[in-house]
Amino acid sequence: VTGNKWAINKEHIATMKDGAILANNGHFDVEIDVVRLKEMALSQRRIRQHVVEYTLPSGNRIYLLAEGRLVGQTAAEAHPAEIMDMSFAIQALAAEYLLKEPGSLENKVYLIPQEVDHSIARLKLKSMGIEMDELTDEQKEYLSSWTVGT
């Protein structure tokens, strides 16, 4: 997670314990020197999707996740593109909101305005062919209260 090239290199790999797991969650897929790992390995076998076992001359097995690519985007289900696009949209529209409010905001943490959040939700749902219902006044009251129904 350094964002730098070969943060895990041949020397590191050679001293890893049997069963070590390598996963890159950094900025680019250059942090783990996968080319050297492959050169060093006596054998490799796919254990399952996104997991390859490399056996080193020492007999130690190294498990590489997602081919050394960004594991959270390549192999995980937690952040698929369908979620990431909304996250990036929120970031972009929040930045736009800040730019439109020069000098009027204090230096503190703000919640994303509901109109920005809702516009992103509407756009996402529309791209999926889904229409969004409007909340009734009773539903709005319920969502804004911690006392109703408890």
The string of pLDDT tens digits covering residues 117-130 is 888 888 888 888 88
The answer to the question of residue 59 being in a domain is: yes
What span, in angstroms and rounded, lies between the C-alpha atoms of 38 and 90? 40
Contacts of residue 92, defined as CB under 8 A and 6 or more positions apart, other chains included, come to none
Please determine, for residue 150, whether its predicted confidence score (pLDDT) is greater than 60: no
Domain containing 58 equals 10-75
> Domain holding 43: CATH number?
3.40.50.720
- Secondary structure of residue 32 in the 3-state scheme: strand
pLDDT top residue among 58 and 4? 58
Tell me the residue type at 34: V
Last-in-domain residue among 75, 93, 124:
75
The answer to the question of residue 143 being in a domain is: no
CB 62 within 8 A of CB 39: no
What span, in angstroms and rounded, lies between the C-alpha atoms of 116 and 138? 23
The answer to the question of residue 17 being in a domain is: yes
- Secondary structure of residue 63 in the 3-state scheme: strand
The answer to the question of residue 144 being in a domain is: no
The string of pLDDT tens digits covering residues 58-117 is 999 999 999 998 887 777 666 566 677 878 888 888 888 888 888 888 888 888 888 888
Domain shared by 49 and 19, yes or no: yes
Split into its structural domains, the chain has a count of 2
The answer to the question of residue 102 being in a domain is: yes
Domain shared by 71 and 34, yes or no: yes
Sign of CA dihedral 55, 61, 63, 68: negative
- Secondary structure of residue 134 in the 3-state scheme: coil
Domain shared by 20 and 67, yes or no: yes
Domain shared by 63 and 91, yes or no: no
Residue with tokens 């929040």: 94
Domain shared by 91 and 69, yes or no: no
Q: Is the pTM of this model over 0.85?
A: no
CB 37 within 8 A of CB 62: yes
pLDDT top residue among 54 and 130? 54
- Given this model, what pLDDT does residue 132 score? 73
| Sheet strands (E) in the chain | 20-22, 43-48, 51-55, 61-65
What span, in angstroms and rounded, lies between the C-alpha atoms of 121 and 116? 9
